[in-house]
Structure 1
Amino acid sequence: MSNRTLKLVAIIAVVAIIFSAFNTYLILDSIRAQEQLNTQEERINELETSLEQFSAQSEQLEELQGALDAQEERLNELQSVLDDVAVQAEQLDAQEEQISELQTAINDTKDNLAEATSALSNLANQISALNQSTSTGLAEIGATLESLEGIISEISGLEEIVDQLLRQTPAEVYAATYRSVVVIRTSIGQGSGFLFNNQNTIVTNYHVVTNETDIEIEFFDRTRTQATVIGSDAYSDIAVLSVSSAPAEVESLSLSNQSVGIGQQVVAIGNPLGLTESLSVGYISQVNRLLNLEPIIVPILQLDLTIAPGSSGGPLLDLYGNVVGITNAGTDVGFNFAVPVNILKRVIPSLIDEGDYKHPFVGVSIVALTPEAIDFWNILNVDAYQTGLLVMDVVSGYPAEEAGLMSAVSTTAPDGSPGYTAMDIVMAIDGHTTFTIEDWSAYMEVEVSPGQVVTLTLWRSGVTSSVAVTTTERPPYLE
């Protein structure tokens, strides 16, 4: 054989050996895989057996749990029965105590009845004796009553005598008080004022000293001094000044504790047209007027006495020498005005202590309804004689808006003319009827303070309702 043939045979032999070895490897690997499969099948069979056992045990556990639940329900039922028995036992104990108490009460009642019977017997004897003395006692009581009536009559007479002694003539009032009145001079003119509270405090009108820093005070003895504004309120036209000193013989005036009335005689002292220490006598013509004079909003007294420029800020006095107002405005036809004492009492202490006064504010613009006003504003949905205060405008951000008040709505009448549809009409405030703006002002400025709740009675589309409004502070007046 040639070498080439030998090589070929050798290669074939090697390949055969390799193939035989690989085939042997595959056979052995197949045997091992089969063995592993057999092992896994055995493991699976074991797991299936375990699962069957676990399932059987779970069923047994469920049966045991059911038995336990049944036992627990039975125990609960038994406990409930025991609780009922305990309650009944307590009730029996309580009933026994009540029976014992009732028995004791019955015994006490028997004793009391015996005592009452004895007392009634004694009372009957006393009544019999009293009947005998009644006629005498009644006669004595009648005499005592007659005596008391006589004493009361004498006291009334004494009160009238005391009142007559205290009441003075206008001349006597003037003599006792004119020294307390001062002249106030500023860069724009002059006015009047009076000493109040102590010798260092002077009360006058706001408009007399508005925006003034150079204020001169002249006293009755012609001495002069400078004054400083320590508090002022434009809405009530009141200001309080401070001076370093005043003449020793000057006494401060006091505010009256009595309200003023129509027909009451009053005295004004002031400096009209520079005529110092002038006396004017007259009567109160009306109360609770509203001046059409910005920014005054408080109710004002109407007077028939004479007031002229220079009188503003002077005291209005009753016949006991007490201040019942501050004169603050006059007219050419004899009607003059003063800020009343009920306003002074609210405002002046606040000006002294705080420097200002907070007025209550609801936040509405109102118009008093009269036939003339209804015609002027062309209110379309009310009767010609409707009364009350028509809400014309509600100020944004203030209590009236928060309370839901509604302003009149601008509209056009059937004839093409401009008009209004009334929405809310204020008929009363806290039960006080409001026919006029004066009615509103008199109540708000005298009875209400910021933060106070007022109840408004409203007419709205023919239906009456009540609305609570919490007042706030009126915004400061801007010059």
Structure 2
Amino acid sequence: MKHAARTLAFVARFVVLGLAVAFVVGLLWPRAGTLLRQRLGTAPTATAPVVEAAQAPVSYADAVAKAAPSVVNIYANKLVTEQPRELYSDPVLQRIFAVPTGPVRTRRQQNLGSGVIVSDDGYVLTNNHVIASADDIQLLLYDGRVAKARVVGSDDETDLAVLKVDAGNLPAIHMTDAGSRPRVGDVVLAIGNPFGIGQTVTMGIVSAIGRQLNLSSLENFIQTDAAINFGNSGGALVNAHGELVGINTSLIGQAVGAEGIGFAIPVQSARDVLEQIIRTGHVVRGWIGADYGAVPVSADSGLPSAARGVVVNDVSPGGPAAIAGIQQRDVLLRIGKEDILDPSDLRRHEASLKPGVPVEVSGLRYGAPFSVSVTPVQRPSNATLQALRTTP
């Protein structure tokens, strides 16, 4: 028994001594264990790669440096003629005695905005409301040059205008293609000239896509919380790579208690307007001559609970839809080869139709399928459409 105890104590002393030596060796020579395992052939053959989580960039300076030279400040000037009138505090007296009190005066009014150089030969995209009725349009380029611009054409429907500037060495912005549409949550940068203080960059995210402020229009806005102020209109909304995704156009201001709600025209819509205006000087859109809304879903509608499409609320007399036989309360489900999802979807399809080229329109009439051929015409102006809607 004593012999076994002495043996156990002897082994324990050598184990403790070995651990102490290993500790000292490991402390002085950290790679000794790895080299020993490799010498004995017991080292692992491969090491699992370390997967690191994707991180947002610390700075967007590269994106700004890529896009900012393509953004210009716009100063649109026009002459305003006015005649002084005697003013009274009482509204009744104002209506009765508001007579001219002096000669007609002319003053110069300046509108501030921004624009984006979209081609190296001098085409610039901006908002129509920035340059509307302007007599003189001056651009301040990123490199400090001042150049005069002329209006090539404009489009009231999308509030876009195309300018042409004759200058050399113009940096055109890179526009995203149809397959790179922004997603909700994407980081975006708004670049423009707010309040005329000079080029400014603000950052936010895409808050929503496909927004409509006027349900009867062709609006298809990108909503963002990047700060957009007076003077930013017509400026660039770019992604984190400095590529153009939209043209900043409007905001819902703090006057109504809103904060961080701005809107931009998607680059796909802007590109289509740009190409048409450069080619023909104006934008041509199709029109079928019907007013429509969302399909009311009810138990006796004869439609499935997840019905899509639109219901025809009114048909313009003598218009393409009336000639084709489309009636009120018809439900339109398909136009050409495309299904109709909702009213805004049909407006976009309708606008893309070529006037004079027949298109098949199908749907349901009192629950029964029907199909007609409609020959669209060129879409009338907004004023004409408004008059058609208000005519009894």
Structure 1 and Structure 2 fold alike (TM over 0.5): yes
Query: Which of residues 217, 241, 248 is equivalent to 2:139?
Result: 217
Structure 2 residue 360 is matched with structure 1 residue 470? no
- TM-score, normalised by the number of residues in structure 2: 0.65
Query: Which of residues 195, 207, 231 is equivalent to 1:285?
Result: 207
Equivalent AA in structure 1 for residue 223 of structure 2: Q
Q: Is 2:310–2:331's contact at 8 Å kept on the other side of the alignment? A: yes
Q: Is 1:170–1:281's contact at 8 Å kept on the other side of the alignment? A: no
Provide the secondary structure at the position in 2 that maps to 1:344. Answer: helix
Query: Which of residues 340, 356, 359 is equivalent to 2:266?
Result: 340
Matches within 5 A, 1:323-402: 323-332=244-253, 333=258, 334-370=260-296, 388-402=309-323
Q: Is 1:213–1:228's contact at 8 Å kept on the other side of the alignment? A: no
Q: Which residue of 1 aligns with 2:333?
A: 427
Matches within 5 A, 1:434-449: 434-445=340-351, 447-449=352-354
Equivalent AA in structure 1 for residue 288 of structure 2: V
Query: Which of residues 172, 181, 184 is equivalent to 1:252?
Result: 172
Cα distance in 1 for partners of 2:171, 2:58 equals 18
Per the TM alignment, residue 357 of structure 1 is displaced from its structure 2 partner at its CA by: 0.9
Cα distance change of structure 1 residues 427 and 331 upon mapping to structure 2, 3 Å threshold: same
Matches within 5 A, 1:140-179: 170-179=60-69
Cα distance in 2 for partners of 1:430, 1:287 equals 25
Per the TM alignment, residue 199 of structure 1 is displaced from its structure 2 partner at its CA by: 4.6
Q: Which residue of 2 aligns with 1:268?
A: 190
Matches within 5 A, 1:5-154: none
Q: Is 1:361–1:473's contact at 8 Å kept on the other side of the alignment? A: yes
- When Rg is computed on C-alpha atoms for both structures, the one with the higher figure is 1
Q: Which residue of 2 aligns with 1:109?
A: none
Q: Which residue of 1 aligns with 2:10?
A: none
Query: Which of residues 208, 212, 220 is equivalent to 2:130?
Result: 208
* Greater RCO structure (CA 8 Å; 6+ sep): 2
Per the TM alignment, residue 433 of structure 1 is displaced from its structure 2 partner at its CA by: 4.0
Structure with the higher helix share, 1 or 2? 1
Q: Is 1:197–1:254's contact at 8 Å kept on the other side of the alignment? A: no
Cα distance in 1 for partners of 2:355, 2:188 equals 32
Deviation string 1:297-355 (CA, Å, 9 cap, x unpaired) is: 24222223221221111112223332221111111322221111221222101211211
Equivalent AA in structure 1 for residue 372 of structure 2: V
Structure 2 residue 243 is matched with structure 1 residue 322? yes
Deviation string 1:2-34 (CA, Å, 9 cap, x unpaired) is: xxxxxxxxxxxxxxxxxxxxxxxxxxxxxxxxx
Q: Is 2:127–2:234's contact at 8 Å kept on the other side of the alignment? A: yes
Q: Is 2:67–2:242's contact at 8 Å kept on the other side of the alignment? A: yes
Structure with the higher strand share, 1 or 2? 2
Per the TM alignment, residue 188 of structure 1 is displaced from its structure 2 partner at its CA by: 5.1
Q: Is 1:369–1:388's contact at 8 Å kept on the other side of the alignment? A: yes
Cα distance change of structure 1 residues 358 and 280 upon mapping to structure 2, 3 Å threshold: same
Q: Is 1:291–1:297's contact at 8 Å kept on the other side of the alignment? A: no
Cα distance in 1 for partners of 2:322, 2:65 equals 54
Equivalent AA in structure 2 for residue 178 of structure 1: A
Cα distance change of structure 1 residues 288 and 273 upon mapping to structure 2, 3 Å threshold: same
* Ranges in structure 2 where 5+ consecutive residues have no aligned partner: 1-53, 77-108, 385-392
Deviation string 1:150-180 (CA, Å, 9 cap, x unpaired) is: xxxxxxxxxxxxxx9xx99632111122122
Equivalent AA in structure 1 for residue 340 of structure 2: T
Q: Let me know the Cα RMSD of the aligned residues.
A: 3.0
Q: Is 1:431–1:457's contact at 8 Å kept on the other side of the alignment? A: no
Higher alpha-carbon deviation: 325-334 or 218-227: 218-227
Cα distance in 1 for partners of 2:125, 2:229 equals 18
Per the TM alignment, residue 381 of structure 1 is displaced from its structure 2 partner at its CA by: 7.0
Q: Is 1:458–1:467's contact at 8 Å kept on the other side of the alignment? A: no
Cα distance change of structure 1 residues 185 and 448 upon mapping to structure 2, 3 Å threshold: same
Provide the secondary structure at the position in 1 that maps to 2:214. Answer: coil
Q: Is 2:154–2:161's contact at 8 Å kept on the other side of the alignment? A: yes
- TM-score, normalised by the number of residues in structure 1: 0.54
